[in-house]
Structure 1
């Protein structure tokens, strides 16, 4: 049935019993009823200002330039029109429109009804008191106007609610479309998304992706617990209980998949509470992370294992010494024994017969050593022909060390075979033990190394450390010379550019210090930085580099070259309690923003004092300075810290990058580091790119940036302008 036109007006008239005589009677007295419109306008105006909500609305209307008197007169004219024009053509359409406008302007129905009530009272007062109305017409006129008021208000409210219904229909259509989009999105997401009502232990929502994990229904209250590997369930239950207590939590666990494979998933639990703090529901996400875990494990193996021999590498050996020392410190009378091995005659074999033969011999040496020692002992290859052994927990030091030394010597009594060659090697062994020869890893390794050189020099099978072997630091004239070099401005910075691999644009420069020594010429950092660190001058050097690098950066910005500068920082600088203050002072002096510099630290620097390193790095990140781990993969660090620390870049060590286009092991390590970084949200920068083939491989692997001689050698500060001007043309040509 249509709700427009004369038929509806007729319907209103029929139900309200409005007839022609009533309309005629209202018209006859219209002058009497409307003659004092100004008085009613004043009453109506005062009435609206009695209520805070309408008063505030009208004040705002006036402040925005509205004419309140005109608005009041318009409303009064409408109310009086129902007496004069109650049956005029288009009257109903007009009422519907007025109702629509009231809805659009957020005028409440209660306000509309209040206005009609006020008008009803005003009209009836006139009917009862006016001498111009015949007494016999008063009752009939009052009844007529009641019905007309009801009809007028009904038509207007009908327009009001028709508009509201149309808006609701539009909103419902929009919500339906949005729900369809969300449903499609959730259906296609690889993650399982769910919401659990924990009060009634029922699912509110479970995404269809759950079928990819298991064909059976999700079990409650802890989703997917039944499919979780038994050993991992306590961790999942603990995370769930933490969420029930009101804390968001994340847990990684293994799950039995429908294809009989075990896959890794990360569960995230987010609790939602009511106004009293009680947890009402828990929303969750399950995301498969099998590839991430496998990549992490591969990198962990690569980070801890020597690629050639599959023995522990330097990083893992150091970690195991640290762990052993921690363990025995609570066990009275226990000893940790550290042994360093150097092969005799290996260099001759490697030089004369070539690297393939040398590699084969090293593999055989590793095999013999591993099978000669106990399972709890650690055999490691530290690099080249240098091996190491750790005996982690012995009741005494001398006899176990002597017994193992004899077993090691026995490994070299038989010749090593390669094709038709029989190759004889010897071994020199240096031994140091805790607590007799040192109480930390660095001291024990250094003293075992001194003993090993004594054994090699004196042609001994093995040698225990003795106090006479402790190297003494010579008096160094470098202390005053370095200070003088700083004051005489003998130091200078060179800058090696970096490029982005996705589009080849310049990505920044790394500041590299040089010493233009009056007697020795241009000195590289290796010849004076270790001395500066030993003599506790490294903080002075670091502060100089910071100030100079940022001053150069300022000059470049003034010339239209905005590029961040990376600065290498030592462990001593991280221990300097004024370091953050010095960084901020250098930034302020150069009128530079924090993102104009990047701080580079090596893995070993990071791990030297992880608590202090974490504190400094977090503060640097807080003020906006980017952080890069330099020489990544060559030192030793825990992958767990990469997740916790604010690391922006991993700089892949040049030892892996230089020959990656010729060495599959190096290429695998590089790819794994890149993948690991991306999984953790960390960008990768390859150092030591020296050939086009390596650059192409890095680009294919998704490495973010690169630097090296193939891109540019380090450039003096005065030459950076020229490089930035020439590089775009070179890039276009290539």
Structure 2
């Protein structure tokens, strides 16, 4: 006997389960192996399953041909019940194809052909046990690595990877079950970390995790995703108020102060929730939408928010628009619509505001609210603004050639004012289109100016020196800093539509409009009222001190080809055009 064949002693002896419907074969195997192993025998599949359940074996050797249950079928069942057991099968040539197929499927480790030699059987068993021991150690190592990979080192809770893995398992096991993901964000945690140090911050995270686990009990599973973000998985969210109740219990966890070694802290949180399958059917969708709800909760200062698609700006469409923006100008996908601006004293058009639209090949006509912010964020606003300037000025020149005394207005952003040489770009656009600078009105918002007041004032001064007219847009909704208003080289104020739309019914709004108009008059500024929705409001604006107005009551924004027909036929137009006089 070689060293490797030396039988183990005591509790180290491997347990072998021998299965055969022939009693003499079982006796031969028992006599052959019991000096080295703990040998258990069974006469057929049903008995083998019972013995394996009572005492899980390290190795199973089964005959293939047996009544009631073949060896392959038995070993497949044992793979589910005793996954650590190595499975061997004894077979004749006539059954070899079925056995080889079972080996390929992982049901069987190896086969032994009948009739077998004693030495071959001993060697096969020894190798199988060594392989099994190595496989078990490999699985234990994989389990340890998985626990490390799936566990947060600070709190001992599942981390993001572990939470997603568990959520996927539950969704796959019961696709129709109602579950909910609640994300928890601690308020002012960074301040605690920076002030007290990471050691105390980690202590707080551990205590938060412990309280969440204790407070939610068996109804939920808790994880720490990252930083100061925790996740709660409600295992049953079918009840109408289950999610709200879960959020209430989370906030209850934070009702008591947290005792740190150096002081006692009051900590609060925000909670965002998404429900399966209403808000998503995958782990990734639920987490993303719970995150959107959490963002909404933080932004609105509400303690709890459930995902609402109407508040979700973070959509696949948004990403596709971001990706398409850089080339949209060169592909000619943008168009300008124009909304008339009327002189209140003459009751006729004095100019038009150019409003950009995106004619997207997939999404159709995209309104500016859906892409202007994206353009500012990505830097695409610079080429877009230059295109709008050129297109608006070309239309304005065409009107002027018809002796139509119309100006054109264009919106510019904070990014434009921060772009080096922007005033020079505007000058070039005016010169290239053969326009005059005073025909161009550039509209800026108060927040645009206040993003960088010194830079804004410098660039606006350069634009005014060119002869371009400057309009302060949406006045009354931003900072309304009178100190900066006095310094601004503006020509006009545009009163925000929110005050104008309710003019006919709100005495307060009428007073605000009159006050703004009086302020503008004292600063020698013209006043434009936007958002005129009815005839009564239009009639009152001149009496309140406004000079110009625009809104749906006058005209909706229209494509460039519709401008001349509108000017010829609208009561606010210019009458028959020169070509038809």
What TM-score comes out, normalization by structure 2 length? 0.46
Return the index of the structure with the highest Cα Rg: 1
Larger helix proportion of the pair: 1
What TM-score comes out, normalization by structure 1 length? 0.37
